[in-house]
């Protein structure tokens, strides 16, 4: 059973979303924490979500290189990438956008330095949000299959990728948060004697992804813990303000709070400051890991000169201090926005893919150097794919797309899933100029990650409520097959 202090600690992340706070408070007496049945040994594991906000045109990232290239070129017209410029993915019929040199190297195992000979990247083709499988284009057109609500809407599709409940929810929670609900107290067992640190960290503000029913998210910045009294939470001024707030909240004023909500809110605030201080102590001095100075490794990594690199650097450091934080499991959320390319797609999409390519390469280089490669899986998600047909300069909102998975636990060098026909008005296009319907569900994608992470078959339904429409969680085989 959870202690009162632990409950308050779980709800006390510095920038925990208001929805989660209310959900937690309202469910105070109803919370039923499902215990995961362990057996996963002592390996520490991290899942890193890189959300490409805006809807990345991933059919111009993972591209038929042979066979169906002519089909691709005809559909994409003035947006088609010349065949000769594609980065070859060996032993496949596909290539990558020319901006993705490092991703191709990590797919092929031809990377330089510490990545030489290591296949760390695979791709998932034709994946999207689904309630149940869509067996054919006709099934979609005649309405015989349940569909995600508000398809093609940024807000709704972002929410659905992060909740994995595309039919909508009355009380919002994300699949990362629900995973924390069932494994945090059972796998992060080093947190004893009153010590508590959340397992979900966001370096991109609040997200639905990491909000659970009892667990929340801990928002950090590149400088570390986000102070309760402001974004620059680690300056002497803010430290003084935090201390003042802590003093105010402490008794004897607490005795004057007349109701549970006020009293609980006061303790949440106090615990937020405590969590921040504990985290910051380790984040500010990460020390060495496997004989490597963490700060030096991060400083020497070839991160591109872009704001997203700050998020990746913070993620490296947060993973590197997981032992000090007493975490056997942790999730991290990174967001890279600006992929809504209705215009100037060729130039802007190429430039952003180059940034993503460089950031993922530098991130993986850090993990390899620090000896963390086999403990971390990085994966992408995005609102939706985009129409195949050019609107003149760009593309519009669609549905299915392709995603990247990266890490030591993968069987790298694979393109998994069923790459669709890219013929406009063809068998996989539901209309309006090349809206491809998914044949691989986001649930199957996430389920494979969660099985590795430690969510048991018995708990998978509470984390992914629609999973049995696609896959039996008790199966001995992975739902997609990108993991070894």
> Looking at per-residue confidence, does 395 or 4 come out higher?
395
The values of phi and psi at residue 411, to 5°, are: -85, 90
Whether residue 12 is predicted with pLDDT greater than 70 in this model: the reply is: no
Q: How far apart are CA 291 and CA 353, in angstroms?
A: 33
Helix extents (H) in 90-136? 101-108
pLDDT at 322: 97
Tell me what the mean pLDDT of segment 139-152 comes to: 96
Q: In the structure encoding, which two tokens stand for residue 279, read together? A: 């985290």
pLDDT at 229: 56
Whether residue 254 is predicted with pLDDT greater than 80 in this model: the reply is: no
Helix extents (H) in 370-421? none
Q: Which of 18, 355, 21, 334 is nearest to 205 (CA)?
A: 334
Taking each continuous run of H as one helix and of E as one strand, the counts in the chain are 14, 15
Strands 440-441 and 121-128: parallel
- Is residue 357 within 8 Å of 306, Cβ to Cβ? no
Render pLDDT for 393-420 as a digit per residue (tens, 0 to 9): 999 999 999 999 999 999 999 999 999 9
pLDDT at 226: 77
* DSSP 8-class letter at 384: -
Tell me what the mean pLDDT of segment 116-123 comes to: 98
Q: What does pLDDT average to over the chain?
A: 88
Whether residue 22 is predicted with pLDDT greater than 50 in this model: the reply is: no
The model's confidence at residue 259, banded by pLDDT at 50, 70 and 90, is: low
Tell me what the mean pLDDT of segment 301-324 comes to: 98
The model's confidence at residue 19, banded by pLDDT at 50, 70 and 90, is: very low
The values of phi and psi at residue 451, to 5°, are: -60, -45
194: region left, alpha or beta (phi > 0 left; psi from -120 to 50 alpha) = left
Torsion of CA 441, 447, 450, 452, to 10 degrees: -110
- Is residue 124 within 8 Å of 400, Cβ to Cβ? no
**Of 9-18, 177-186, 314-323, 366-375, minimum mean pLDDT range:** 9-18
- Is residue 447 within 8 Å of 479, Cβ to Cβ? yes
Q: How far apart are CA 186 and CA 372, in angstroms?
A: 22
Whether residue 374 is predicted with pLDDT greater than 60 in this model: the reply is: yes
Whether residue 4 is predicted with pLDDT greater than 80 in this model: the reply is: no
């Amino acid at each position: 059973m959870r202690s009162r202090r632990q409950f308050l600690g779980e709800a006390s992340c510095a920038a925990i979303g208001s929805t989660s706070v209310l959900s937690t408070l309202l469910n105070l007496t109803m919370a039923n924490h499902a215990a995961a049945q362990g057996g996963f040994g002592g390996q520490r594991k991290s899942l890193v979500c890189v959300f490409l906000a805006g809807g990345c045109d991933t059919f111009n990232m993972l591209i038929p290189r042979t066979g169906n290239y002519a089909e691709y070129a005809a559909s994409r017209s003035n947006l088609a990438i010349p065949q000769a410029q594609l980065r070859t993915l060996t032993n496949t019929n596909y290539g990558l956008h020319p901006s993705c040199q490092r991703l191709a190297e990590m797919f092929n195992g031809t990377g330089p330095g510490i990545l030489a000979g290591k296949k760390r990247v695979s791709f998932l083709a034709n994946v999207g949000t689904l309630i149940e499988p869509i067996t054919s284009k006709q099934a979609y057109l005649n309405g015989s299959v349940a569909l995600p609500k508000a398809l093609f809407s940024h807000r709704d599709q972002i929410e659905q990728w992060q909740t994995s409940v595309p039919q909508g929810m009355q009380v919002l929670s994300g699949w990362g948060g629900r995973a924390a609900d069932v494994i945090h107290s059972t796998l992060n067992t080093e947190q004893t004697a009153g010590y508590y640190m959340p397992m979900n960290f966001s370096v991109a503000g609040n997200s639905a992804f990491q909000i659970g029913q009892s667990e929340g998210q801990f928002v950090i910045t590149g400088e570390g813990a986000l102070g309760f009294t402001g974004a620059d939470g680690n300056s002497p001024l803010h430290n003084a303000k935090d201390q003042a707030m802590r003093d105010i909240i402490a008794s004897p004023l607490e005795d004057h709070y007349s109701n549970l909500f006020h009293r609980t809110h006061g303790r949440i605030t106090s615990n937020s400051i405590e969590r921040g201080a504990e985290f910051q102590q380790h984040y500010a001095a990460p020390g060495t890991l496997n004989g490597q100075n963490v700060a030096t490794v991060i400083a020497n990594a070839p991160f591109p000169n872009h704001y997203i690199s700050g998020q990746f650097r913070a993620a490296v450091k947060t993973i590197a201090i997981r032992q000090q934080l007493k975490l056997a499991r942790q999730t991290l959320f990174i967001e890279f926005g600006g992929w809504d390319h209705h215009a100037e797609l060729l130039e802007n999409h190429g430039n952003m893919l180059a940034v993503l390519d460089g950031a993922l390469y530098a991130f993986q280089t850090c993990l390899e150097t620090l000896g963390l490669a086999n403990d971390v899986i990085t994966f992408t998600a995005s609102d939706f794919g985009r129409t195949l047909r050019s609107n003149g300069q760009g593309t519009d909102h669609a549905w299915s797309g392709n995603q990247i998975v990266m890490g030591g636990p993968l069987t790298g060098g694979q393109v998994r899933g069923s790459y669709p026909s890219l013929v406009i008005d063809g068998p996989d296009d539901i209309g309006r100029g090349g809206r491809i319907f998914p044949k691989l569900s986001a649930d199957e994608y996430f389920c494979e990650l969660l099985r590795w992470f430690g969510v048991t078959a018995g708990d998978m339904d509470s984390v992914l409520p629609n999973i049995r429409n696609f896959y039996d969680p008790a199966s001995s085989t992975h739902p997609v097959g990108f993991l070894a």
